[in-house]
Structure 1
């Protein structure tokens, strides 16, 4: 279990540049120094609780990274396409590991009925404190995962699904306030917790966050997370992005138009300018610093029970390994 986030790390994060806001956006104006200080004091007070840290599995994820003691759990995407190409043996390495969250996708399954059956079969693979992340997936109906959550909640009540199973929903803060309404529907459908996509752009994230709080989408999540060691509560995603190409990939994955959105363009320009002006080693340190600050910021917010690292590229997993080696030990008791 994680100890409270070190105050020195929080103070260092506040002394540095914003983790999501490009320099030119900061220059346009923002919160006053007094507002920043108040926000910083609130965050410092809010980190005095234990946090859960998980990491995304991927075909190229080095086992020494995803098995590292720094991570409490792993989220395994729907791997049937990879299973068909490489066999199921790699997936089965998670059969007995505690803290494994398995994903069921309506688009990958071909519909809600198959997604429900898939989820029940995945939980039957074994492990204590099982958890299922319900997603619509690429091309899936936008609220199909809410229907899956509702049916899995019914299956859990009947005993078809083990009663200790945690039901999780995904959220994309980059969609802003409209996504808050979907988070609320998923909570009402039975989600015990929420795992988000990474917050790439601060303005969009803040609009999503404020709308969620206004609707009550976060209500009770903190209490739920403290009930057990399961992956409950609000878990914010963070992404180690090491170059412009990786940033553009994340824009695509989170439905951000990198050409139309001024903040997205500015962030992409900042990555490109630093890549051109810095040595490769310094640029690598700069991208890692952004990743570290995003992790620190996510961990310091109200309601948050954990942080989910989403590397998605081999280089991203190298940054995840560096975080586990150089930063996360400070979280341990």
Structure 2
């Protein structure tokens, strides 16, 4: 969400006349939409599979996908807008709510799904689960530890700076994590060493069940950039084109060797903190569905003549085929043998 509890959240403007990216090529804007649809389609499929066999009593240890599950529905504009500027040579570190960023950054969908299902063909051979996805092919990682991804992003940025090329790192974290020591230590060191890193704060208003207004002394985290002598920018609404524009400035600065930037995006958590979260702490639930960024962006692109019924149907069908193929791959993959529980934990002697 995007404001304090006493005010209604801002609604992204759907009118094409006010669109931040109206001068972008049509294919770029269409790709934003396709990326968001693919991400949402994936989350809906994971939601379906996760809840299929959890009862009775909702035992999170049961079923095809055991353990906690944190889904990113509503936060797709952040991933699509930022990752559109990146290549597989750039590093992205994400949070415990990582799927939208993994999808947008090109993580292998089949291997990621197999990892979520705890299968041997997964990115971590089924040992990590959905909060610990690592894909070295595109320099992607995430963690269930709050603010953990920022220091590794600095490490990647430091390595990129010492070698030829213009690769950068992007560290994505939540607004709650911006109160962690690792956040401030990382901003300080990145600024001091002028590292090619972009810090992105996904402000979905809720740190688990605590609103930002009750946990953070500043109204938005972008103002904290000034303490470290780096640019800070706030994207007020959950608008993929506005995110893309802000990220473009920060990425350009990083690739040019001018150092880090901080962006905060007021985004939206459509569903609970985790699956099974009753969300009794949220007084805004009745209005949340109306803020869904995907139908709003679809409306804008229809106004611009970029999308019509046929194009929308094709994008949805392609997303569904990719996702269902990944789900089938995961289900058909073997579960790691119990005898191998210690394998890959310790180094093995030759």
TM range (shorter): 0.3 to 0.5
- Which structure would you say has the larger RCO, counting Cα contacts within 8 Å and 6 or more residues apart? 2
Structure with greater proportional helix content: 1
* TM-score, reference length from structure 1: 0.40
